[in-house]
Copies of this chain bind each other. A is one copy, B any other.
Amino acid sequence: MRVSAKADYAVRAAAELAAAQKEEAPVKGERLADAQDIPLQVLEHILLELKHHGIVRARRGAKGGYWLARPADEVTVAEIVRAVEGPIAHVQSTPPEDIEYRGNAEHLQAVWIAVRASLRTVLEEVTLADLVSGELPSVVGDLTASPDAWVAR
């Protein structure tokens, strides 16, 4: 139930790309790495994965670099997390809808499905455009409104 460094890095790098989208020129990996304090070689691997998933594009050579394949308001955080971490909220590496629970745990499946659905309501709602503008969807606002949400437990 944790977020990997890779996913965190990927979203941060993508946010930088989103912000640079107006510039009309590719952004070099090194600039992204510097801006977000990510080891360059790690970042390159991540960007490659994002490219394979059709989220970013790239060109090599001088004047080369990376850019988003789509407008920033059409790329969700969920997509990026899935690209680098795989499916969200799997249980023992299998999707919750494929698990059969026995005995008194029968209804546990619905709980895991609800867990996944609740993650989706956040991750699929937030786009890179939201992220860089700071105008987050209302679902995020609602969830972060209580001071309770900001303390560990």
Contact = CB atoms under 8 A, between A and B. Distances in A.
Interface in A2-22: 2-5, 7-8, 11-12, 15-16, 18-19
A86 B146 CA distance: 23
Contacts of A107: 130-132, 134, 136
A interface SS class: helix
A97 interface: yes
A78 to B, nearest CB: 8
B36 A1 contact: no
Interface of A: 1-5, 7-8, 11-12, 15-16, 18-19, 35-37, 77, 81-82, 85, 87-93, 95, 97, 101-108, 110-123, 126, 130-132, 134, 136, 139-140, 143-144, 146, 149-153
